[in-house]
Amino acid sequence: MMDALSVVRQLRDLASEPQNREVIVQDQGCLPGLVLFLDHQNPDVLLATLQTLRYLAELSPNISTMKNELGMMVSLENLTGREGLSIDITALAKEGLDSTDTRGLCEEALLKVRGVISFTFQMASKRCTVRIRSDLPTESLASAIAATKVLSAQQVVKNEAGEDVFIPLNPCGGEVQQNSALPDYLPEEEESPEKEVDRAVSRTTAKQDSNGSWLNAAAGFLTKTFYW
């Protein structure tokens, strides 16, 4: 029997693997169910749901789908103001709101810069790894980010002790060369190894409760789509 917490925790564990994130968001039942659980009274369910959403947002194409999901942004906003919740839950909800907006702005700015080859986000540490042509000054990236009016860029390097050191990146002051049309490539670089499927699919049913229909759908999705 699968209850709400076990279903969400399984989704969270699957979402922690980069190759699963697209499949989960594309499924017609998963996002609506996760939105439903953002109003759940069990703090453990809330925490696991928010952790799942944060993982899913690591894949760039998922962000617009998640932002447009009915009730998603409203439920996250409600969580940030809901009384009696732990700091972990409210902080995660706020991070979910901030990361979708911030990442969208950053991505839009980088896509316009001529000479940017690809970029990968690490939202938990608020970092973006950018591959650029050798003739593109890093100051041009700083200018593009500064043009958003709400973001600024710092370069992260490691010192002799292996510790991260932040170096301010000053805008170049000149005009940044922009792409006349958006480049035809995927900005994210993520390895997507196929999961081994030599194990049998287990059959499971969800416990019927107030969210029973979604739990059944989610349990079916988990067992049909993923292998253990």
Per-residue model confidence as pLDDT tens digits over 116-151? 888 887 766 677 888 888 888 888 888 888 887 767
Residue 194 lies in a domain: no
Q: In the predicted model, what is the mean pLDDT of residues 64-79? A: 86
137 CB neighbour count, 10 Å cutoff = 14
User: Do 217 and 27 contact (CB within 8 A), yes or no?
Assistant: no
Residue 89 lies in a domain: yes
Q: Which domain holds residue 45?
A: 4-189+200-225
The CA–CA distances, whole Å, from 57 to 43, 203, 207 equal 21, 29, 29
Q: What is the count of structural domains for the chain?
A: 1
Kindly state the tokens that stand for 30: 């998963």
Query: Above pLDDT 70, what percent of the chain?
Result: 75
Q: In the predicted model, what is the mean pLDDT of residues 166-176? A: 72
Nearest residue to 176 (alpha-carbon basis) of 144, 150, 200: 144
Q: In the predicted model, what is the mean pLDDT of residues 59-75? A: 85
Residue 141 lies in a domain: yes
User: Do 34 and 21 contact (CB within 8 A), yes or no?
Assistant: no
Residue 145 exposure: Cα atoms within 13 Å on the Cβ side: 21
Between residues 12 and 204, the one the model is more confident about: 12
Q: Which residues contact 87 (CB under 8 A, 6 or more apart)?
A: none
d(CA 123, CA 7): 24
Mean pLDDT score of the chain: 76
Q: In the predicted model, what is the mean pLDDT of residues 28-33? A: 88
Tell me the per-residue pLDDT of 188-215, one tens digit each, with 9 for 90 and over.
544 433 333 333 333 333 334 445 677 7
Residue 195 lies in a domain: no
pLDDT at residue number 112: 84
Residue 37 lies in a domain: yes
